[in-house]
């Protein structure tokens, strides 16, 4: 009986410890976010640092974004046509492809790819900088690593994400067009005109952009924090990189639900 | 990589982004086709609005001239009060007829405006008095059945 009580107590302890450590990490990540905001002014004085990071997160992600967007658009076109032609409204395929891309798939898939392509790179880079004590060396030289290393990466991610998301949506629509008009033979005029009649700039395109900005903030903060927080070992960095992908993906999908429910009700 | 090349790549990247956004706005979205900025609001009372929703199009002779702003229920007269924003470029006479139509058999509902003969035009805050309700399919069918039944007697 006594032993049972002890094991029970131990398991509760475990739950409590995992909860408090998570709460601690969330608090530390929030603190990092505010530190970044405070040091942003300093980092904007050296804008070329941010531009360099936009190159590494944005330009280097361009190929994967364009190729996957094209395929996503083509698959949407094929699947949409399969269902719509049963109801004799295959001209609505343009609306389906455009709305699905602009409202949901554009921001979400871009953010997921971004977390895998750029987020992991950020975590590994910063984790390794920490492991090799480059960050402490900077502090010794009175250079704030947040202003010099963290903040430029943050702003690069926030700027890059909406750009990538709009590229994704546009390329995806072109992919849907390629399948629908030349291959299946939907009328071109109906394809574009139905799309224009049903996609609203403010309600669909702008809301998609807002989503991608929020995802950009979440993704980069998670990647930066995991890198900053990683134990200074090879194993620690590899685990932090894995956690970046898992946490960012979950955060993106959960935030997407919250944002969508606000946007639809509002 | 030297700085100029890097700047050039980032510039290209940002321009592609801006072009895509413009494409989304112009080609995919409706920013060009019915960009309604300056509007005046009129109201219309309907006994039954069917499935009309806010932001539904308002058409004159098939051309989109405005959008439904809001739909409210009047507890005194038990009517629906529909507020319509009409583009300032289009004027309609005071005795304009407002009908609720359905686009296609199962499509969205919209308001069709038919101009009357009055010389004065509708202005901000005016009310369209002549309206025709949405066609409710059940009513139509039951009317048809009743008329059939009375024919047979």
As a whole number, mean pLDDT of residues B33-60 equals: 80
Highest mean pLDDT: which range of A96-105, B81-90, B92-101? A96-105
Per the CB < 8 A criterion, the answer to whether A176 and A191 are in contact is no
Q: Tell me which of A124 and B131 has the higher pLDDT.
A: A124
- The C-alpha atoms of residue A31 and residue A28 are separated, in whole angstroms, by 5
Q: Is the pLDDT of residue B35 over 90?
A: no
When pLDDT is cut at 50, 70 and 90, the band that residue B105 belongs to is low
Please give the full DSSP string across A164-189, using - where no structure is assigned. Answer: HHHHHHHHHHHHHHHIIIIII---HH
Element spanning A74, H or E: helix A62-84
Helices A106-114 and A151-178 pack at an angle, to 10 degrees, of 130
- pLDDT number for residue B33: 54
Which of A172-181, B63-72, B100-109 is least confident? Answer: B100-109
Contact A52 B6 (CB under 8 A): yes
Alpha carbon of A113: minimum distance to chain B alpha carbons (Å): 17
Contact A54 B16 (CB under 8 A): no
- The C-alpha atoms of residue A156 and residue A44 are separated, in whole angstroms, by 11
Q: Is the pLDDT of residue B30 over 60?
A: yes
Contact B29 A200 (CB under 8 A): yes
The C-alpha angle A191, A184, B62, rounded to 5 degrees, equals 25
When pLDDT is cut at 50, 70 and 90, the band that residue A76 belongs to is very high
Contacts of A264 (CB under 8 A, 6+ apart): none
- The C-alpha atoms of residue A127 and residue A107 are separated, in whole angstroms, by 27
What 8-state DSSP symbol labels residue A242? H
Residues in A touching B33 (Cβ below 8 Å): 196-197
Q: Looking at chain B, which residue has its C-alpha nearest residue A204?
A: B29
- The C-alpha atoms of residue A39 and residue A148 are separated, in whole angstroms, by 9
As a whole number, mean pLDDT of residues A176-180 equals: 93
pLDDT tens figures, A213-245: 999 999 999 999 999 889 999 999 999 999 999
When pLDDT is cut at 50, 70 and 90, the band that residue A112 belongs to is very high
Domain definitions of chain B by residue range:
1-33, 39-137
**Do the interacting molecules here have an ipTM over 0.85?**
no
Buried b / exposed e over B89-115, threshold 16 CB at 10 Å, is: ebebebbbbbbbbbeeeeeebbbbbee
Contact A171 B20 (CB under 8 A): yes
Which of A125-129, A233-237, B98-102, B131-135 is least confident? Answer: B131-135
Contact A169 B20 (CB under 8 A): yes
Contacts of A40 (CB under 8 A, 6+ apart): A151, A154, A155
Report B:10-29 residues touching A (Cβ under 8 A).
10, 12-14, 16-17, 19-21, 23-25, 27-29
Q: Looking at chain A, which residue has its C-alpha nearest residue B14?
A: A163
Q: A195 is written with which tokens? A: 């799309």
Phi, psi of B50 (to 5 degrees): 65, -125
Question: Measured between CB atoms, which of A170, A171, A197 is closest to B30?
Answer: A197
pLDDT tens figures, A134-166: 988 998 998 888 888 999 999 999 999 999 999
* Residues paired with B86 in a beta bridge: B40, B66
- pTM higher than 0.80, yes or no? no
Q: A98 is written with which tokens? A: 């455009």
- The C-alpha atoms of residue A197 and residue B56 are separated, in whole angstroms, by 11
Question: Does residue B88 sit in helix, strand or coil?
Answer: coil
């Amino acid at each position: 009986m006594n032993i049972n009580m002890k094991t029970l107590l131990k398991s509760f302890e475990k739950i409590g410890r995992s909860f408090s450590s998570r709460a601690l990490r969330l608090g530390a990540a929030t603190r990092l976010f505010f530190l970044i905001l405070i040091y942003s002014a300093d980092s904007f004085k050296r804008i070329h640092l941010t531009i360099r990071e936009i190159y590494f997160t944005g330009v280097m992600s361009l190929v994967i974004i364009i190729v996957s967007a094209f395929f996503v658009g083509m698959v949407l076109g094929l699947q949409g046509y399969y269902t719509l032609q049963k109801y004799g409204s295959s001209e609505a395929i343009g609306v389906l492809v455009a709305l699905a891309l602009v409202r949901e798939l554009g921001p979400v898939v871009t953010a997921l790819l971004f977390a895998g392509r750029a987020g992991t790179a950020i975590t590994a880079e910063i984790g390794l900088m920490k492991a090799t004590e480059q960050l402490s060396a900077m502090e010794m030289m009175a250079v704030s690593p947040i202003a010099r290393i963290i903040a430029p990466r943050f702003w690069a991610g926030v700027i890059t994400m909406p750009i990538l998301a709009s590229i994704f949506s546009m390329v995806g629509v072109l992919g849907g067009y390629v399948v629908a008009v030349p291959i299946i033979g939907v009328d071109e005029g109906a394809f574009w005109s139905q799309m224009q009649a049903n996609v609203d700039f403010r309600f669909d395109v702008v809301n998609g952009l807002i989503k991608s900005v929020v995802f950009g903030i979440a993704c980069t903060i998670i990647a930066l924090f995991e890198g900053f927080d990683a134990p200074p070992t090879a194993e620690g960095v590899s685990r932090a990189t894995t956690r970046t992908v898992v946490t960012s993906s979950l955060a993106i999908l959960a935030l997407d639900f919250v944002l969508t429910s606000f946007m639809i009700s509002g | 990589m030297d700085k100029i090349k890097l700047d050039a790549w980032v510039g290209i990247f940002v321009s592609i982004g801006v072009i895509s956004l413009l494409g989304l706005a112009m080609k995919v979205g409706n920013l060009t086709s019915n960009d309604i900025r300056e509007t005046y609001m009129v109201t219309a009372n309907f006994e039954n609005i069917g499935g009309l929703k806010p932001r539904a199009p308002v058409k004159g002779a098939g051309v989109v001239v405005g959008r439904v702003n809001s739909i409210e229920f009047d507890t005194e007269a038990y009517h629906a009060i529909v507020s319509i924003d009409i583009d300032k470029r289009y004027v309609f006479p005071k005795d304009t007829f407002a009908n609720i139509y359905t686009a296609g058999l199962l499509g969205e509902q919209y308001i069709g405006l038919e101009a009357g003969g009055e010389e004065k035009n509708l202005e901000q805050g005016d009310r369209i008095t002549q309206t025709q309700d949405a066609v409710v399919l059940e009513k139509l069918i039951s009317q048809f059945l009743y008329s059939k039944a009375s024919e047979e007697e």
